[in-house]
């Protein structure tokens, strides 16, 4: 029984890690370079937030292929 519970927790209980990058507002090439470097490839943007002349993007990195 505990093995089934452990399997369910491993499959459904773990939220994906959220990474973040900071970049100059409007500089999409800097954003893409930093996001690809942080995630080692593909990613989804969850949200962005402005900090003066900078922005923070929260990312979920997609698993490598």
Output the pLDDT for position 31: 96
Output the pLDDT for position 13: 56
What is the end-to-end Cα distance of the chain in Å, rounded? 33
- Kindly state the percentage of the chain with pLDDT values over 90: 60
User: Does the structure show a pLDDT above 80 at 35?
Assistant: yes
CB-CB contact of 57 with 48 (8 Å): yes
Strand order in the sheet with 54-61: 18-24, 54-61, 43-51
User: Does the structure show a pLDDT above 90 at 49?
Assistant: yes
Calculate the average pLDDT of the chain: 83
- Tens digits of residue pLDDT in 5-29: 555 555 555 566 788 999 999 999 9
Concatenating the DSSP letter of every residue in 4-20 gives HHHHHHHHHSPPPPEEE
Domain boundaries, the chain: 17-61
């Amino acid at each position: 029984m505990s093995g089934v519970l452990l399997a369910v927790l491993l499959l459904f209980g773990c939220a994906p890690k959220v990474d973040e990058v900071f970049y100059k507002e409007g500089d999409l090439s800097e954003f893409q370079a930093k996001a690809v470097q942080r995630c080692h490839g593909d990613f989804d943007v969850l949200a962005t937030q402005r900090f003066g002349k900078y922005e923070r993007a929260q990312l979920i990195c997609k698993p490598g292929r």
